[in-house]
Chain A
Amino acid sequence: MGRLINANDKVNDHQANESCAFFNLSPLHSGLHFSAGRSPIPAKLDAARRIDTPAGSPMSIFEYNGSALIAMVGKNCFAIASDRRLGVQLQTIATDFQKIYKVHDKLFLGLSGLATDAQTLYQRLVFRHKLYQLREERDMKPETFANLVSSILYEKRFGPYFCQPVIAGLGDEDKPFICTMDSIGAKELAKDFVVAGTASESLYGACESMFKPDMEPEELFETISQALLSSVDRDCLSGWGGHVYVVTSTEIRERILKGRMD
């Protein structure tokens, strides 16, 4: 059932003593705050090469590039929206960065988090989907695709991709499906909206108040755009416009929004 592994095995020999550190971990009790499974001994920080924020506090890897993603369900349609900024910490380097990818006509994938992992993950998923299309001679259903993404992320449980995907699609009988996951593949299937990215806390609040069930495509577009723009306006790391896809069974409407460019 899998061999005994040392998840903290260091590659360098001179740090071999650290690999014994995990045996000294105190028993983790259920329910209480768990560490993220890493060695409790702090890693030596090379001061000359630190990725440091001006504030000096340790930065979360998800805040390196910055992103904001929402997906919402409407009446026989769905909408998925993202911001357009690509930054390296506090410096913006692109204002037209694509975060939402089309997997097939009725399935969209948004990837927030570290941009390099997002692009790598997207390429792997497109590869797997194309193989699936060749074997099955049809497109993948959104539920199946969500399971695929979840497995690929969980495979890297102890050395994860720093990405949070948002999946939106039309399933059987064009029933809208949305889903998000954390970076190790824990699926959250919601019936109304899902959010991801650095602006997620504002996004939760905005969507919670603006969302109504069973919206028509035009109203859904207005709601998701307002929720996105008002949330990213309160987040330094995302913004510079918006990119919204509204998908019904007959068409895909892609719109670029004008937002604050700061």
Chain B
Amino acid sequence: MSKATIDLPPKGGFSFDLCRRNDMLSKKGVRPPSYRKTGTTIVGIIFQDGVILGADTRATEGPIVCDKNCEKIHYMAPNIYCCGAGTAADTEAVTDMVSSQLQLHRYHTGRESRVVTALTFLKRHLFNYQGHVQAALVLGGVDFTGPHLHTIYPHGSTDTLPFATMGSGSLAAMSVFESKYREGLTKDEGINLVSEAICAGIFNDLGSGSNVDICVITKGHKEYLRNHLLPNADVYALKREYTFPKKTEVLLTKITPLRAKVKIIEGGDAMEE
């Protein structure tokens, strides 16, 4: 058995074994595959008590919507959440990885995570891969220094802002913020503003759609409002059932009964004295 086929648990990080083969294929004229993207509108604002993050819920694969209700607001720490735009696998993997690193960091330091810690982990990882890990993120949270909101670009640059938008619908959402944002918003005003901005993205940008997810983070408390607004409810579905006039023809049927796995609990004998 050659070394390449021994699948020991990898030490972590990316593996490049198939690059040579994939390169050979692309030289032969084979198009590289397209990856699932989160076309997206993601936003964040700072309001009087903390941070509100918002996102739409559409995931696309080229022009096709492959997921009508995906989650784009990822958990990083009990007091920090992150919205992701770009290649879906990259945003999920990067946020999961940094979330684990933050957990380890909390164990090491014995303190609540700071938003700038998450920011630094993320920007270091993204810069390291020179933009090839295509994740554009809006990171928000409340730590003991106060509420923070940051944007992180795929190449690793960051901005610290009072209100932020990212994704293909960022311009639509930013227009709402630029006209209606002010400092010292209350929680309800903030949620309404964020919903309005995401809806602007949903209705005007083709890469964003479906529902609005909101996450409100304040000192010591968070509220994850999954599907807070459903402006695109499925009202046109057929009410009558689909009947199949011609049944499917079956050539062969094989039935395998599943035996219930019996748990054997050994009653131990008392120890001999």
Contacts and interface: CB of A to CB of B under 8 A. Distances in A.
Interface of A: 1-5, 7, 9-11, 22, 25, 27-32, 34, 36-38, 43-46, 49-52, 58-62, 64, 105-106, 124, 127-128, 150, 153-162, 181-188, 190, 200-201, 204, 209-210, 212, 221-223, 225-226, 229, 241, 249-258
B18 A159 contact: yes
A246 B170 CA distance: 44
B248 interface: yes
A162 B33 contact: yes
Nearest to A253: B255
Interface residues of B, number: 78
B50 interface: no
Contacts, number: 222
A242 B30 CA distance: 28
Nearest to B40: A31
Nearest to A162: B33
A9 B14 CA distance: 14
Contacts of A185: 89, 93
A10 B16 CA distance: 12
B268 interface: no
8 contacts: A9-B19, A11-B23, A37-B134, A157-B90, A182-B35, A212-B241, A251-B258, A255-B254
Interface string B212-246: 00000000000000000000000000100110100
A159 B16 CA distance: 6
A37 B121 CA distance: 22
Contacts of B250: 255-258
B131 A61 contact: no
Residue picked from A150, A160, A182, A184, most chain B C-beta under 10 Å: A182
Given A2-B125, A200-B64, A43 B16 contact: no
A36 B32 contact: yes
A154 B91 CA distance: 11
Contact of A30 (B64, B133, B136, B257): B136
Contact of B258 (A22, A31, A158, A249): A249
B104 interface: no
A36 B33 contact: yes
Given A158-B16, A186-B35, A210-B242, A58 B169 contact: no
Residue picked from B19, B59, B61, B70, most chain A C-beta under 10 Å: B19
A153 B153 CA distance: 24
B130 interface: yes
A88 B242 CA distance: 36
Given A58-B31, A61-B25, A184 B167 contact: no
Given A59-B31, A254-B253, A187 B155 contact: no
B37 to A, nearest CB: 7
B60 to A, nearest CB: 11
B86 A31 contact: yes
Interface string B102-142: 00000000000000000001001100111111101000000
B26 A43 contact: yes
Contacts of B30: 51, 58-61, 64
Contact of A2 (B22, B37, B128): B128
Contacts of B257: 250-251
B251 A46 contact: no
Contact of B167 (A30, A36, A200): A30
Residue picked from A3, A153, A160, most chain B C-beta under 10 Å: A160
Contact of A31 (B124, B167, B255): B167
A161 B251 contact: no
Contacts of B170: 30-31
Contacts of B28: 45-46, 49-51
Contacts of B92: 150, 186-187
B34 interface: yes
A183 B128 contact: no
A29 B85 CA distance: 11
B7 A128 contact: yes
Contacts of A200: 64
A105 B258 contact: yes
A188 B36 contact: yes
Contacts of B22: 159-160
A29 B249 CA distance: 52
Contacts of B128: 1-5
A147 B22 CA distance: 24
B32 A155 contact: no
Q: Which 10 A-B pairs have the closest CB atoms?
A: A30-B136, A159-B19, A186-B88, A186-B89, A31-B168, A159-B18, A31-B167, A225-B248, A258-B249, A182-B36
B20 interface: yes
B33 A61 contact: yes
B7 A30 contact: no
Given A226-B244, A250-B257, A1 B132 contact: no
